[in-house]
Chain A
Amino acid sequence: MSSPVIAWRAAISLWVNRNRKWILSGPAIAFIVLLLVIPLGYTLYLSFTDAGSSLRASFHFTGLGNYTNVLTDTRRFWPAVYRTVLFTVGAVSVEMLLGAAIALLLRREFRGQGIVRVIILMPLVATPVAVAMLWRLIFEPTIGFANEFLRFFGLPGSEWLSSPSTALPTLMFIDVWQWTPMVALLLLAGLTTVPEEPEEAARVDGANVFQRFWFVTLPLMRSVVFAALILRSVEAFKTFDILYATKGAGGGSMHEAETINIYAYGINFSDNRYGLASAVLVVFFIMVLVLVTLQIVARRRGQ
């Protein structure tokens, strides 16, 4: 004879059991909706309006006007796209090459490898804004360490971050300095999962060190390489902190370091054109999705 309370409890536990997948994933779903879907949706909504000056001011629906403005803007938007792509491709390719080289060096056991690993990982734990400030001091053209160092060896100094022609390459260098360790770390993790036998077999067959790496080791760690590549590309594509901390909003006096992200920040926070900034960000979002999709497709083709 079950009491109503017990029956009620049984009903609840039955319901919980039946819906456990929703109940268990509920917090995660709520988190994604609140922090991802709603802001994204709101950004998309703003991108079709002429929201500006104050978000509390009234704004009107302008259809695709912002998108037309953005995609036909050859003075600020397309140069920013070009710089973003240049920065990403330049920095990430160097990071992948250097990262792979460091990972291969660290793969073998050697004395003092703990210290070497710690030193190599140091840039990774530094805060990007602090790093940017530090490099800004090092690269100061008149009294900075970099030019003092070059002059000591009788070499001419450079304007580094402060010249429109050398700012972006210098920023790529900073990005490489900061993020190569992470790539090396990921590839090293991948290398440790690669069995030794295929490589030894190749060595017996007379393959040299490059052939062994290219035809045997690399294909075996393809998934890790792709993971590192996707992660770094997306991160580099949307780099903000070092650019903003060294060159400020606008990316310098000639917009020499203005990537899409910095451009969007500028029109949003300096110009207060929220509609236009949202359109830039939506276009940017689509670009990143395309980038990732291409990489995933390439990866599946490779497999």
Chain B
Amino acid sequence: MKRRSRYAAVSLTAALILSACSSGPSSSSGPSSSSGPSSSSSLSGQTINLSLSHHAWTTSLQTFIGDFTTETGIKVDVNVYDDAQQATLYNVKLNAGSSDIDVLMFRPLQNTQQFTQNGWFADLTKYVNASTDWNWNDFWQSARDSVTVNNKIIGVPLVSETGVLYYRKDLLAETGMPYPKTMDDLKAVVAKIHELHPDIFAFAGRGEVSAAVTQFSSFLYSMGGNWTDGKGNSTINSDAAKAAYKLYGGLIHDYGPPGETDMNWPQVMGLLQQGLVAFYPEASSNYDSAVDPTQSKVADQIGVGPIPAGPAGSKPYNITAMALGISAFSKHKDAAWAFIKWATNQANSLTIQEAGVPGARTSVWNDPKGTSTLAPDLLATIQGNSKIGVGYDRPQVVNVDQARQIVGAPIVAAIQGGDSNAVADQANSDFQALLDGQAK
């Protein structure tokens, strides 16, 4: 009896911890053979599954997505996920070669290299070449480059995004100082606001190790630093990079809210909306949250300006944040392409940009309708950044997640008032190991 109960206990335990012991899927089904574009009439009646990201572009598209089914007869099954959920979903489904997903929304800078290496993207070059009326060349060159790998097109750009500085106009006016042109000006303005309003966080920013990397990148480039030297060598412990870590993390350490190392943009934005933050570097695409009168107590006082200049000038990131691709395992590639083509055509791109989501089509930016709904200071900053911006906001490696954890560590150290230089040296050797492992 005792022995049996022991076995029972052990097998019960095994059952209990098994939930922790599964290493992803193991089933596999071969990718469906890709056929060339076919006429849309044969596609009517098919259903395609869309995996979209929780993003302003998606929200805007959903208001008229029904038109697509009306026009083509293709039914759409829409699923919207947040970042972490979607990353896991792709990992599981695409690893298993599941044909559940047809159209996938992705982040070119985060996923392109990895998904391409894993063979998860369908090659869209044929479709793009066959769609002359849709005008691929209307998309910005840099946006096209971000979704082109070895001359193969693997996605269509949707959203452009750039690093800007959100600030409180009323608090800046109170100091009597102009908008900060240089990083030194920024330090002075922030110190002055802190002096006048010790209860307000004069400078706040993303502090969570991985989330902070993208917004920190504008500071890194402006201080004259970069992730690598472009030849496979890490440069995150260069003097310029160390100065950037100290600047960004130090401002947050001196003037930011408590618990910063746990904050992604929704948390910092929440404090800004409560009227508790004066300066905050963040993505242009989050503008709507900052000025939404239903959420923000200070909606009418929020201004947007360019990243102040460091020794290297003002070098914000300016990227293609989102794109649509087709899964290599999709069984409805033609119908999926029909959807992408429809969602990104000129008219619909204009509609979405009018809703306040900056796109990547030249014609839409040249059309007064496409810019009339953007706030003047936001528009000026976006247009200014497009001339001087850097086309990536994170290290360009296969495994971006891992790299962000590494290069973000000195930011966290600086926020906590620790020795960010020593941490940058350690991070540099970790990042070098990652780059070397990738080069093999």
Contact = CB atoms under 8 A, between A and B. Distances in A.
Interface in B1-52: 2, 6, 9-10, 13-26, 28
B209 A271 contact: no
Contact of A271 (B94, B257, B259, B402): B402
A60 interface: no
Interface in A276-301: 277-278, 281-282, 284-285, 288-289, 292-293, 296, 300
Contacts of A40: 14, 18, 21
Given A54-B117, A240-B20, 12 more contacts: A43-B23, A54-B120, A142-B259, A159-B259, A160-B259, A238-B16, A250-B210, A252-B262, A269-B87, A270-B402, A281-B23, A296-B6
B13 A288 contact: yes
Interface residues of A, number: 56
A93 interface: no
Nearest to A239: B20
B258 A253 contact: no
A285 B261 contact: no
Interface string A8-49: 000000000000000000000000000110011011001000
A270 B111 CA distance: 12
24 contacts: A35-B18, A39-B22, A42-B23, A54-B94, A55-B25, A56-B118, A142-B257, A142-B259, A143-B270, A143-B274, A143-B276, A230-B13, A238-B17, A247-B262, A250-B405, A253-B207, A254-B209, A268-B23, A268-B24, A285-B17, A288-B13, A289-B13, A292-B13, A300-B2
Interface SS, A side:
helix
A163 B260 CA distance: 8
Given A285-B17, A288-B17, A141 B2 contact: no
Interface in B191-250: 207-210
Contacts of A53: 114, 117-118, 398-399
Interface in A217-260: 230, 234-235, 237-238, 240, 247-250, 252-254
B180 interface: no
B114 A238 contact: no
Interface in B259-306: 259-263, 267, 270-271, 274, 276
Nearest to A55: B95
B9 A230 contact: yes
B401 interface: yes
Interface string A38-82: 011011001000000111110000000000000000000000000
A159 B405 CA distance: 22
A161 B258 CA distance: 11
Contacts of A46: 23
Contacts of B257: 141-142
Interface in B400-428: 401-402, 405, 408, 412, 416
A43 B22 contact: yes
B79 interface: no
B262 A42 contact: no
B18 A164 contact: no
Contacts of B21: 39-40, 43, 281-282, 284-285
Interface of B: 2, 6, 9-10, 13-26, 28, 84, 87-88, 91, 94-97, 114, 117-120, 207-210, 257-263, 267, 270-271, 274, 276, 398-399, 401-402, 405, 408, 412, 416
Nearest to A36: B18
Contact of B24 (A55, A57, A261): A55
Nearest to B262: A162
A281 B405 CA distance: 22
B274 A277 contact: no
A152 to B, nearest CB: 17
A216 B259 CA distance: 49
Contacts of B22: 39, 43
Contacts of A277: 23
A253 B23 CA distance: 25
Contact of B401 (A270, A293, A300): A270
A66 B16 CA distance: 25
- The listed residue with most A CB atoms (<10 A of its CB), out of B261, B262, B408, is B262
Closest 9 CB pairs of A and B: A162-B259, A162-B262, A54-B118, A253-B209, A141-B259, A141-B258, A253-B261, A270-B401, A253-B412
Contacts of B207: 253
B184 to A, nearest CB: 28
Contacts of B13: 230, 234, 288-289, 292
A289 B14 CA distance: 8
Contacts of A159: 258-259
A161 B271 CA distance: 17
A277 B270 CA distance: 36
A234 B18 CA distance: 11
Contacts of A284: 17, 20-21
A274 B402 contact: no
A254 B88 contact: no
B261 A254 contact: yes
A148 interface: no
Contacts of A199: none
Contacts of A264: 20
